[in-house]
Amino acid sequence: MTEHQVQIEEGDEDGTRVLRLSGDLSVQTLGKVEPVLARHDAGVPLKLDLSDVDRFDTAGAWAIAQLQVRMEAAGSALELSGADSRQRQLLETVTAALPQPPEETPRRRGLLEMLDALGRATVSAGLFLAELSHVLGLFLGRLARSLLQPRRLRWTALVAHCQDVGWRAIPIVSLMAFLIGVVLAFQGSVQLRQFGVEVFVVDLIAISILRELGILLTAIIVAGRTASAFTAAIGSMKMREEIDAMQTLGIDPAEALFLPRILALLLMLPILGLIANLMGLFGGLVMSWIELGISPAMFITRLVEGTSIDHVIVGMVKAPVFAIIIGVVGVHGGMKVESNAESLGRMTSASVVTAIFAVIVADAMFSIFFARLGM
């Protein structure tokens, strides 16, 4: 910047170092002035001549005040000359306001701190699980109560959430399942053709979609769509103290907010899973026809004869569990939002990640469980 200029002339008067400043002594020129003042040996007396300074602001005053403090500590004198009354007043104000950083306590590092951090992480993980069980317990309790007194259930909210969670998710879930069916048929046909048993591609598609992929991928998509929506909706209500307001008005947030949402998910996820299964099989059928020449009629015969209904049951049993996991994680995330927008964003993405992760962990546990049962 050309308009902000500062000149520093150095001189000597009877052993006293003299610095004559002229021009701007402001935040714009501080980068040039401050190093000169900071390099001054605090033990040597100094005279600062400010008579030609036009613009003098808190930044300039700060540089001089810093030097003054340093020289006083060293026991030498800083003489100011040519400063007008306003400049002196500003310097006084700044000197009085000079921040006094508190003594920093050095942070200890070592085995103890690592253990400390590990302990804290373990406890907070345990607390997280406890909080999730708390939400689950609230949901089950309110569900039981509204089963006994169906009037208490908020039917309008329930239907609205069913529409949001279920109906609106149908296109994306269908498309996803159809493509998975296509991919399985295509990949399966390439491998099975080597052995001349192309027709087994029907079993491959049926078992993998009905047992695992249909419901798992549906749950993952719903976790992405719905866990985030739950967290964002409840979180923004929490942020604006709406949930506190509900409580003071005698409305139970668990009944009004948690129950309709999680229940909608519980009702809709099995249906979505079923749609995904059908669309996945359809995708497989189409691809088998195009790629392997297996006619739809043959595909269906093979499907009905060769695939046990057990696979469908094993797949669909997981749906309610996934639904509750996604719902509980989403609602819990919303309740953890603090009073700022940043935590809303953080909790929303954390909810999605946690929900997807938890769904996959649950799926793995189901696999072990069914393997032990021999199903």
Provide the binding-site residues for another protein, judged by CB under 8 A: 1, 3, 26-28, 30-32, 34, 57-59, 62, 66, 86, 89-90, 93-94, 97-102, 338-343
- Tokens 């949930």 correspond to 243
Q: Is 23 left (phi over 0), alpha (psi -120 to 50) or beta?
A: left
- Residue 318: closest CA among 170, 210, 226, 227: 210
* DSSP summary character for residue 278: H
Structure tokens at 111: 């085995």
79 three-state secondary structure = strand
Least Cβ distance, residue 207 to another protein (angstroms) = 49
CB-nearer residue toward another protein: 98 or 127: 98
Least Cβ distance, residue 9 to another protein (angstroms) = 20
- Residue 47: closest CA among 92, 81, 21: 81
CB-nearer residue toward another protein: 16 or 343: 343
Least Cβ distance, residue 333 to another protein (angstroms) = 18
Least Cβ distance, residue 43 to another protein (angstroms) = 23
Rounded to an integer, what distance in angstroms lies between the CA atom of residue 228 and that of residue 355? 9
CB-nearer residue toward another protein: 102 or 250: 102
* Alpha-helical runs (H) found in the chain: 30-39, 58-74, 85-97, 111-148, 155-165, 170-193, 201-207, 214-222, 228-239, 242-248, 253, 259-292, 296-306, 309-335, 341-373
Rounded to an integer, what distance in angstroms lies between the CA atom of residue 74 and that of residue 62? 18
CB-nearer residue toward another protein: 3 or 12: 3
- Residue 253: closest CA among 238, 240, 267: 238
Least Cβ distance, residue 162 to another protein (angstroms) = 35
Q: Is 274 left (phi over 0), alpha (psi -120 to 50) or beta?
A: alpha
Taken in order 350, 351, 356, 358, is the CA torsion positive or negative? positive
Residue 21: CB partners within 8 Å, gap ≥ 6? 6, 7, 8, 33, 48, 49, 50, 52, 53
CB-nearer residue toward another protein: 100 or 105: 100
Least Cβ distance, residue 89 to another protein (angstroms) = 6
Least Cβ distance, residue 59 to another protein (angstroms) = 6
Least Cβ distance, residue 285 to another protein (angstroms) = 51
Least Cβ distance, residue 75 to another protein (angstroms) = 24
CB-nearer residue toward another protein: 35 or 126: 35
CB-nearer residue toward another protein: 26 or 288: 26
Structure tokens at 74: 């060293």
CB-nearer residue toward another protein: 35 or 141: 35
CB-nearer residue toward another protein: 2 or 149: 2
